[in-house]
Copies of this chain bind each other. A is one copy, B any other.
Amino acid sequence: MHLYDYAKGLVLEAGNHLRQWMTEAIDIETKSNPNDLVTNVDKAVEQFLVDQIKETYPQHQIIGEEGHGHNLTTLEGITWVIDPIDGTLNFVHQGANFAISVGVFKNGEPYAGFVYDVMADTLYHAKAGFGAYRNETLLERIPDTQLAQSLVGMNANWLAGKKITPVLMPIIRDSRSSRAYGSAALEIVHVATGQLGAYITPRLQPWDFAGGMIILEEVGGIATNFVGQPLAITHPDSVIVGNKEIHKTILQEYMKPHEDFLAPWHEHYQG
């Protein structure tokens, strides 16, 4: 079977299992950060995906949120980057508005992206070079927009007295309004559908952005870190996602004036 079709079917199947497992009791554990809940369902979904991939493609590499492949030494061949539940707080508190996110890379280059809004049963998917889809509908290329006429995805947490707050505050002040949905993968695809003009956040893991990034690129959107570098699946990073125009504005007018702060902050924060 073609790898793209296999991956698409696998993500949908994982979503079916997830909806079933949800009805069973959710046993919440707390990782190092109390805001970073992880549930048995997270782990079960990642294990399901890993088991299936390893059985079908034993030579493929896998990076997963719940502990798989965090020390890869090469990106040769096929690498899967998996977030079994992106938006765990939404999963726990809302029982909705979370996604399975999967990015597939060939020799480190984007090959295919999948973001599955499980409870809405909406699959965003793209094969690099062949356009992006919401279920069976081809997504149009996203138009350029001005910041002042755009909705910007950003969590108010980042404006609540953090070191990065003075950098981010003017962007929200100058936008039309802000939104916060609590799932990076879904917020990136909301940019890809034009529902948000941009999405900005100071730190994401590769599994948070890998799937969405590939979908976004297929509709002409741009994703970089706060200092304009491309995102990589080998390390966490700050993230600006947007249509070309708004991305350029944010980077040049709002980030560049802070480069003396951002460069060292960024290096430190990237870890």
Contact = CB atoms under 8 A, between A and B. Distances in A.
Contacts of A34: 148, 176
Contacts of A180: 156, 178-180
Contacts of A178: 155-157, 180
A177 interface: yes
Interface in A140-199: 148, 150-151, 154-161, 169-170, 172-173, 176-182, 194-196
Contacts of A179: 180-182
A163 B177 CA distance: 17
Contact of A89 (B158, B159, B176): B176
A73 interface: no
Top 10 closest pairs, chain A to chain B, by CB: A159-B159, A156-B156, A156-B178, A160-B173, A94-B195, A160-B172, A180-B180, A160-B169, A156-B172, A179-B180
Interface of A: 34-35, 89, 93-94, 96, 148, 150-151, 154-161, 169-170, 172-173, 176-182, 194-196
